[in-house]
Amino acid sequence: MKVFNTLSKRKEEFVPVEEGKVKMYVCGPTVYNYIHIGNARPMIVFDTVRRYFEYKGYDVNFVSNFTDVDDKIIKKAIEEGVTADEVSKRFIEECKKDMAGMNVKPATTHPLATEEIDGMIEMIGQLIEKGYAYEKNGTVYFRTRKFEEYGKLSHKNLDDLQSGGRSLLVTGEDEKEDSLDFVLWKPKKEGEPAWESPWCDGRPGWHIECSVMSKKYLGEQIDIHAGGEDLVFPHHENEIAQSEAANGKEFAKYWMHNAFLNIDNKKMSKSLGNFRTVREISEQYDLQVLRFFMLSAHYRSPLNFSADLMEASKNGLDRIVTAVANLKHLISAATVDSMTDAEKEAFAKTVEFVTGFETAMEDDFNTADAVSSVFELVKYANTTASGDSSKEYLESILALIVKLTDVLGLIVEKEEELLAEDIEKLIEERQAARKAKNFARADEIRNELLEKGIILEDTREGVKWRKA
CATH 3.40.50.300 is the classification of domain 17-267: no
For CA atoms 78, 82, 88, 92, give the dihedral sign: negative
Its pTM stands at 0.87
Q: How far apart, in Å, do the first and last CA atoms of the chain sit?
A: 38
CA distance 256 to 26: 9
Residues 286, 290, 291, CA angle at the centre, nearest 5°?
110
Looking at residue 463, its pLDDT comes to 86
- Candidates 187, 204, 188; CA nearest to 239 is 204
**CATH class for the region spanning 307-407:** mainly alpha
For residue 55, count CB atoms less than 10 angstroms from its CB and return exposed for 0-12, middle for 13-18, buried for 19 or more.
Answer: middle
CA distance 83 to 132: 34
Looking at residue 170, its pLDDT comes to 43
Rg of the Cα atoms in the chain: 25
Per-position pLDDT tens, the chain of length 468: 999 999 999 999 999 999 999 999 999 999 999 999 999 999 999 999 999 999 999 999 999 999 999 999 999 999 999 999 999 999 999 999 999 999 999 999 999 999 999 999 999 999 999 999 999 999 999 999 999 999 999 999 888 887 654 444 444 456 899 999 999 999 999 889 999 999 999 999 999 999 999 999 999 999 999 999 999 999 999 999 999 999 999 999 999 999 999 998 888 877 777 779 999 999 999 999 999 999 999 999 999 999 999 999 999 999 999 999 999 999 999 999 999 999 999 999 999 999 999 999 999 999 999 999 999 999 999 999 999 999 999 999 999 999 999 999 999 997 666 667 788 888 989 989 988 989 889 888 988 888 777 888 888 778 888 876
CA distance 265 to 337: 52
CA distance 3 to 362: 8
